[in-house]
Amino acid sequence: MALMTQTEWAKEQGFSKQYVCYLAKNGIVELKDGMIDSEQADAALITIRDPSQPQRRKSINGNERGNSDLATMFLKTRIKNEIERGKLLEAKAKAEIGELVSIDEVKTAAFNTARVVRNNLLNIPDRVSALLASLGSSEKIHQTLTEEIKIALEALSQGELE
């Protein structure tokens, strides 16, 4: 029979002193001259404990039993959120100074460039059909078509599309 104060037993079990007072007031834990018989109190706790519920007591070192994994998960989630927030702020700063461009602007510019290239290539037959009709040799026709296609593609590579 080990007698101890309510505060000592509360600390040992990971309870608050208020909870120990609640247990004593409801007759679950018996007091003897203001002291608690730890063996009787431990046995009483076992009998009233709902086995379907996890224990939520603090351990001796102050960490929550069973909640340390949850605390670690919350911490990891918060760190991940802070990293993502930092990446977003960095991207916004780069966009403001002009290092990053909106995806819509890129798509529009690419579409316009491709449309001009397509139009230039489709205009080749209209420009050279009369010339090709006057040429008698297939080699000269091939050479003329190749030159026209090169001109259209060089305009693309030099940014001279209109």
Calculated CA dihedral for residues 15, 20, 23, 24, nearest 10 degrees: 160
Question: Domain ranges in the chain?
Answer: 3-48, 67-100, 103-157
Rounded percentage of the chain residues whose pLDDT exceeds 70: 88
Residue 63 has pLDDT above 80, yes or no: no
Whole-Å CA distances, 160 to 99, 134, 149: 24, 30, 15
d(CA 75, CA 56): 19
Question: How far apart are alpha carbons 117 and 79 in whole angstroms?
Answer: 48
Q: What pLDDT is recorded for position 160?
A: 62
- 92-132 pLDDT per residue, tens: 888 888 887 888 988 998 898 888 888 888 888 888 888 88
Is it the case that residue 60 has pLDDT exceeding 70? Answer: no
7-37 confidence digits (pLDDT tens): 898 888 888 889 889 988 888 888 888 888 8
| Pair of tokens at residue 49 | 């404990």
Determine contact, residues 43/33, Cβ cutoff 8 Å. Answer: no
